[in-house]
Amino acid sequence: MIRPAVRPLATLLALAGLATTAGAAPLRAQWSLGLSSGVTRFDPHFGDYQWNLQPHAAWGAQAGAGLGRYGLALRVWTASSTQHLDASASVTDPHVRTTTVDLAADARIVGFGGTSLLARASGGRVLIGYTPDQVTLTTAGGSTAVELAPVHAWSWGAGAAVRQEIVARWTATLSVERQMFAFDTAHRTGSAVELAREGFGNWNGRLELARLFGTR
């Protein structure tokens, strides 16, 4: 039993607890699976290595988890282009594909209704591979087989996104991101071959469609 002298204090504490519960937005834990498509714009520096720099279609997938304002997603993103080789090569324009596997962290900056503005940062690995991965060069002394070895590098990036709840448990996210990476290169300058470590940065525009699971 609460004594009459302390009943007002108990009442105030109970009201304060109710106000706090009503005013605090509950944290929502959610999981998501989704697909994405869009466009990759390769770094103009790739033009020095005879890449086709036209924007190319890209696609990917992601699995994510979120709690309140924050989210984390494991993503795969891939795009392809062509690289022009010597005219004597058995394949003069092999396909070159970049595939990125990374973790992307989101933070909601502001939200209104079912729309949210997000800041995004990412880090992972990028693979650059060729098809075919071996060509033959014809020279005056005969022919030489050249291996087009894959390139592996760490990648990092940042960007912004707008997310919209479209129907129950489905969201669409439009994002623009800059992806950076660096790897060792070799190119000919006159009669010499120069070795260097160079940095590159691609622009990615994505439209992500995701299905949400978990609490609402």
CA distance 74 to 66: 12
Residue 84: predicted pLDDT: 87
Question: Which tens digits make up the pLDDT trace of 9-29?
Answer: 444 344 444 444 444 556 778
Burial class (CB in 10 A: 0-12, 13-18, 19+), 129: middle
Residue 216: predicted pLDDT: 59
Choose between 63 and 185: higher pLDDT: 63
Q: Residue 194: which pLDDT band, with cuts at 50, 70 and 90? A: confident
The mean-pLDDT minimum among 10-14, 61-65, 87-91 falls in 10-14
- Out of 102-106, 146-150, 165-169, the most confident range is 102-106
Q: Is residue 147 over pLDDT 80? A: yes
Output the CA–CA distances (angstroms, integers) from residue 164 to 73, 114, 133, 135, in the order listed.
17, 6, 41, 47
Q: Is residue 205 over pLDDT 80? A: yes
Question: Could you give all domains of the chain from N- to C-terminal order, each with its CATH number?
Answer: 29-214 (2.40.160.20)
Question: Which tens digits make up the pLDDT trace of 104-119?
Answer: 999 999 999 889 999 9
